[in-house]
Amino acid sequence: MHVILIHQAFTTTDEAGGTRHFEFARYLAGHGHSVTVIAGSSSYLTGQPAAAGSETAFPGITVLRPRSSIRLHRSFLHRFIAYLEFMLMALWRGWRVRKPDIVLGTSPPLFQGLAAWGVARVKRVPFVFEVRDLWPDFAVQLGVVRNRIAIALARHLERRLYRAADRLIVNSPGFVPHVRKTSGKDPVVIPNGVDPAMFESPSKNRSAREEWHAGDRFVVLYAGAHGIANDLDCLLDAAALLRANAGIRFVLVGDGKEKPRLQERARHEDLDNVIFMRAQPKTRMTEVLESADACVAILRDIPLFGTTYPNKVFDYMAAGKPLVLAIGGVVRDLVETAGSGLCVPPGDSGAIAAAVEALSRDRNLAHEMGARAREYVCRHFDRREQARLLEDLLTTCVSKTDA
């Protein structure tokens, strides 16, 4: 089976960002399939250019990066233009790929789903569409998209893509009601998860603590995007409340549009208990996570975020770290079921500070929660099992077409 995957933010383990789709592609290639990935020419986290125009080969995997805009982080207008530009380039490159059996598109953004649909129709092969957030509703609740015409057009595109897909995938059970209502179809849940092998032998290399000048302080780590959805001002508010506690240090690892402003705020307020670190490739995240004592997952306090399964939560748990979770809904249910952390209301900096302080005072409790986190996530959210489900779904779609 030859799969085309169209994913602007595709990253390998040598790059910063989520590696869900690289791990899926690696599994498929390892089981005798071939995967052609059409990806963006710049990092969605850092905005730095990748090797545009080149083909990066892995065993069974070819990554095509058509030249497109690197202006993702300049403004929302530039991001919109970058999405449209990639859609057109992905269509062009996808039409040139020889003899695919199926096309897999993923959202956000919806525009790359439109490219995947277009390639699938020209090639006369099945189109599978994966929904990784409820766009445009997230953008509307965040206030990013306010124009009524733009919202109506985006919702129309969402409905068309959902209904055009031969099969739909969602990465959180919280998305199922919306997708079912919008499409009239039952999506397959292939949730976010982890590759347990990355953390089977936790690294004892805690050298990142030296970079952070952490000593024996209790290090609280946030790893991920620094955007408007991530509510990192609330995390800085919590750090300000704990400024007098010299035994606690916050480390924010990642990149995004809001990072320069957050760094300036920390400097202006003399938050010397906060350290910013550039985005790290997945190959180094084992060491970075091992160097932390607890991890924070946080999103803005909007209702729809209660439907999400943030990828970072699963990495934190696989690394055996206790969580401070400032997100409600389905992921809170998961953390509470696992007994893997302290859950607080979204947007409540005081509650975040109190949870951090409680874990720092009782390190035995923190260790127990971390151990439960790893055991639970490896048992229920193994990426290898999820990749097998994806393989079965794609193979079934191709078999029906051949029949």
Q: According to the model, what pLDDT value does residue 71 have?
A: 57
Residue 32 carries which DSSP code?
T
Residue 122 carries which DSSP code?
H
Is the confidence at residue 205, as pLDDT, over 70?
A: no
- Residue 55 Cα to chain centre, angstroms: 24
Q: What does the domain layout of the chain look like in residue ranges?
A: 2-193+382-402, 196-380
Q: According to the model, what pLDDT value does residue 397 have?
A: 95
Q: Give the range among 29-43, 44-58, 215-229, 339-353 with minimum mean pLDDT.
A: 44-58
- If phi > 0 it is left, if psi is from -120 to 50 it is alpha, else beta; for residue 107 that is beta
Is the confidence at residue 72, as pLDDT, over 60?
A: no
Question: Which residues lie closer than 8 Å to 14 by C-beta, 6 or more apart?
Answer: 281, 282, 283
DSSP per residue, 196-254: GGGGSS-----THHHHTT-TTSEEEEEES--SGGG-HHHHHHHHHHTTT-TTEEEEEE-
Q: According to the model, what pLDDT value does residue 254 have?
A: 94
Q: Give the range among 89-103, 191-205, 319-333 with minimum mean pLDDT.
A: 191-205
Q: Which CATH fold would you assign to the domain 2-193+382-402?
A: Rossmann fold (3.40.50)
Give residue 64's pLDDT band: very low, low, confident or very high (50, 70, 90).
very high
CATH superfamily of 196-380: Glycogen Phosphorylase B; (3.40.50.2000)
Top pLDDT among 284 and 173 is at 173
Q: Give the range among 145-149, 202-206, 333-337, 377-381 with minimum mean pLDDT.
A: 202-206
Alpha-carbon span 65 to 47, nearest angstrom? 14
Asked if the domains at 2-193+382-402 and 196-380 fall in one CATH topology, the answer is yes
Q: What percent of the chain has pLDDT over 70?
A: 91
Q: What is the mean pLDDT of the chain?
A: 91
Give residue 49's pLDDT band: very low, low, confident or very high (50, 70, 90).
low
